Structure formats: C-alpha cells, structure tokens
A and B are shown apart, each in its own frame.
Chain A
Amino acid sequence: MQEQEEAPAFLEESDIAVIVNGHSYERRVPVRQLLSDFLRHELHLTGTHVGCEHGVCGCCTVLLNGEAIRSCLMFAVQADGMAITTIEGMAGNNSDLHPIQQAFMEKHGLQCGFCTPGIIMTVHSMLRDNPNPTEEEIRHELSGNICRCTGYQNIVEAVKLAAERMRAFQSESEMD
C-alpha cells in the first residue's frame, strides 16, 4: 500500500506487494481474502494447507517476517510489505530437503501429511528460538498443531533429530 497523504478511505480491493519465499509478488486482492487463500489461490502455493479456518488446527502456519502465524486468521491485505515463508521456501534451490524435512522423512514424522507443512513451519521457528529443546518443550510448542494420524511420537523424534543435526551444522560453521 502506498503512503497515504489523504485521510484513508474504505476499500473493497487493495493493491499489495509481498515477498514470498524470496520472490516479489504484486497483486490486487479483495480485502476479505484470507492470507491462506491468497497463497493457495493467487500464488498457487498449495503447500500451505487449510484445515479448520478458525485458528485451531495449525495446518496453515506460515512465517510472517520470521514469526509463525496462522495464515487463516489474517487478511492478505494486512501482509502488504511483509515477507512470508511457506513450506515451499524450506528446501534449498538445489532441491535438497531442509534438515527438518529430512528428519521428518527419516523418522516417519508424518502419515497422511496434511498437517505436516504447518508443523514444519512451527518447528522452524521453535528451533530458531530454542536450538536445544527438551521433549517437554517440543510437545508444548507443537500443541498448536493438530495431527490426527501419527500420535505425535515420531514427530517429536523427528524434531529431536532435526535439532541435533542443525546444532551440529551450526557448530561446524562456527569452527570454519
């Protein structure tokens, strides 16, 4: 949205500019469009899943300026000028999986996979703030993401493995 010199008017549509996974997008959006629907329908980034659409299930979790949020509880127009990371932005350009994705694959941290993108984004922000979480902390931080298949055991195992590898990678980089 441009800087407004005049008193702001009420709008039904608005032009927005966002950076999603490092790419710039400019679109005109209806103001009532949810960020989750903008990502899926406008940008065709369908990795962000939509479950309950009232902030309970966690499937639509994305990073907004680095912080994990529910993309179903925010309008696309509100993301104007902000940077968003979705599950599509996790793997590197050379198609290597992110260590969190790799750990989920190896530890069978998913079955049907519907909740997985939201969980990966949550885990990403968790491990950034707390690189060495206890099992209790992992379970607490995951409490905002519902999985109906796994019983969570292997998700917790995957987070532990991802944390271990990311810490090892971090300390290697520090030694270099």
Chain B
Amino acid sequence: MKPPRFQYAAPRILDEAIALLDQHGEEAKVLAGGQSLVPLLNMRLAGPSYLVDINHISELHYIEPEDGYLAIGATVRQRQVEHSALVKDRLPLLIEVVQHIGHMQIRNRGTVVGSIAHADPAAELPALLTCLNGEVLAQSVKGERVIKAEEFFTGYLSTALEPGEMLTEVRFPWIPPRAGWAFLEFARRSGDYALVGAAAILTPDQDDRCMTAHIAYLGVAGSPIRARAVESVVIGTALDDVTRDRAAEISRSIVAEDMSDVHATTEYRRALTAELTRRVLKAAWDRRQS
C-alpha cells in the first residue's frame, strides 16, 4: 500500500498556497495533518495530482478568542487544542470532544480544521461545529467567505468548498455561561470511529427550565445532523425522565434509512441514538448552572 504519484509543494505563505490551489483546481488537495488524507492515498481511494502541504504556513497557526467565538487556524493540531489553557478555560466542551478523536498519535498530527474539511459523517468535530451552529472561513484567489456549518457539510465526505478554495479557519461559538453541555459516543473499540455520537448544549431559564437547546449527532446520516425535532421536545421542560424518553423516541427518526453497513444496521444505530439521546440530555442538564 503506497500512495500514487503526485507532485508536492510546501509554501510558507497563505497567498502562495491559494495561488497553487487555484492553478490546479480539483486536481489539487491540501495536506495538513494528513491523518485522513494519507490513509486514503495509501489505499488509493484518492489520487490527487498535486498536494499543497500547508504545515509551514505560520500565519495559520493560531487559537484566538474572538467576539462571539473561538477561532482556530488551519495548522493547529488536535493535541494542541487538548492542551490549551485558553480552550480549557473558555470552551472545555471542545477538549472533551477532541479527546474522542482517534488515538494520541493521531491527534499529535491531525488538525482541527482538517477534520472539518474532511467532513467524515462519523467524525466528532463536524458534529460539534454543527451543534454549536459554528462557521468556517474559506479563502481563494477570489477572496474569502464565511460558511455556516449546516451549509458547509453537504453530504458524505462532501462540503461546500469549491475547487481552488481552502479552509483556513474554524469558528466555534462560545457557549452561554449557564449552559450545560455534554458529548457522548459509542465506538466498538477505544479510538475507533464511533457508530453514533451526540452533542447537547442546554441553557436553563430563570425558572430552571430549558430555554434553548442545541443537539446534534454524528454517524446517523451522510453528514452531521442538528436535530431540531429533538430540541423542540426539550425546550420549556425541566428535562424530567418522561421528556428524555420522548426525546429519545423522536431521535430514532433522525437516523437515515440507508445507514446499514458492515459496522451496524440502521435499526441498531436507531437504538444507539435513542439511548445516547437519553444519556447526553441528562449529562448536559446535570452540568447546567441554575
């Protein structure tokens, strides 16, 4: 298993990388951490003619608190987020989610932005970004544009990125201070891609009832899914057992019909989705500050 032939460039400046991507359009791919792309190359499931290695572009190496969101640049590794005092203090949910990605050796190379760009429906970060209603920044020779998570993930390993465009930043919105949050997933072995996962962020009102809810899933369809049907069940309630059971029942319908594969049947994924919904709602609600 060896990668097919390709040509390689390692620019040090973002403008150069964008120019190279523009020259070759769909024939060119961005190489960041390589923890998804290199396996695809080794197995010859992908065969780009040109690889643009962005690891030397220092201007993309930042974790910055902004007004309303945490900005992470395209060369920041998952492990750096895991060890970031800023992230631990301001957005601990992100660390909890990142720790579910692969293994330590993978997170030492894999990037946050790369995971978003790869858009695996079973990956953690796309589901979190969808749950948070976050955004991404895409740049090309034509300029830059900001894309909402739910418009960015368009299907299995597919995104709204156009040929010649590069994902340079991901924006994770801050969570309201009193909100409770949780992320749970079920994988057969530690570090495997999860069969199903669920993220929940629940904000209580002054009467300690659920005022806003953000709930999203991975592994239930071709892209991560924010489940407004489930959210509407819990909003206005005190997250009692009956409510959580109802939410769990409704969450079954989030799982697409065609999700049976070698790992799990659709029916099994529905059962997992219901149980994870029950648990993630409880875990998130228990963490709220009322």
Contacts and interface: CB of A to CB of B under 8 A. Distances in A.
User: Is the A/B pair a real complex?
Assistant: yes
A122 B191 CA distance: 15
A77 interface: yes
B49 to A, nearest CB: 9
Interface string A1-30: 100100111111010000000000000000
Nearest to B108: A67
Interface residues of A, number: 36
* Interface hub of B1, B38, B50, B55 (most chain A Cβ within 10 A): B38
* Interface hub of A7, A9, A122 (most chain B Cβ within 10 A): A7
A74 B12 CA distance: 18
Contacts of A53: 1, 42
A8 B5 CA distance: 19
B85 interface: no
B259 interface: no
B105 A61 contact: yes
Given A8-B9, A55-B35, A143-B190, A34 B16 contact: no
A12 B5 contact: yes
Given A8-B10, A10-B20, A144 B103 contact: yes
Contact of A72 (B42, B51, B104, B191): B42
Contacts of B11: 7-8
B106 to A, nearest CB: 6
Interface in B76-117: 79, 102-106, 108-109
B105 A1 contact: no
Contact of B7 (A31, A58, A67, A143): A31
A148 interface: no
Contact of B103 (A31, A34, A143): A143
A34 B12 CA distance: 22
Chain A binding surface SS class: mixed
A160 to B, nearest CB: 19
B39 A54 contact: yes
Contacts of A14: 8
Given A7-B19, A10-B8, A55 B106 contact: yes
Interface in B42-60: 42-43, 50-51, 53, 55
B16 A11 contact: no
A61 B102 CA distance: 14
B2 interface: yes
Contacts of A1: 10
* Interface hub of B1, B19, B41, B104 (most chain A Cβ within 10 A): B104
Contacts of A143: 103, 189-191
A90 B223 CA distance: 44
Contacts of B8: 10-12, 14, 31-32, 75, 77
B24 to A, nearest CB: 8
A64 B34 CA distance: 15
A54 B42 contact: yes
A73 B39 contact: yes
Contacts of A141: 104
Contact of B106 (A64, A70, A77): A70
Contacts of A32: 2-6, 8, 41
A136 to B, nearest CB: 11
A63 to B, nearest CB: 10
Nearest to A67: B108
List the 5 closest A-B pairs by CB distance, nearest first.
A144-B103, A10-B7, A31-B8, A54-B39, A143-B190
15 contacts: A8-B11, A8-B12, A9-B9, A10-B20, A31-B6, A34-B38, A67-B108, A70-B35, A73-B38, A74-B109, A77-B8, A122-B104, A140-B190, A141-B104, A143-B189
Interface of A: 1, 4, 7-12, 14, 31-32, 34, 37, 53-55, 58, 61, 64, 67-70, 72-75, 77-78, 122, 125-126, 140-141, 143-144
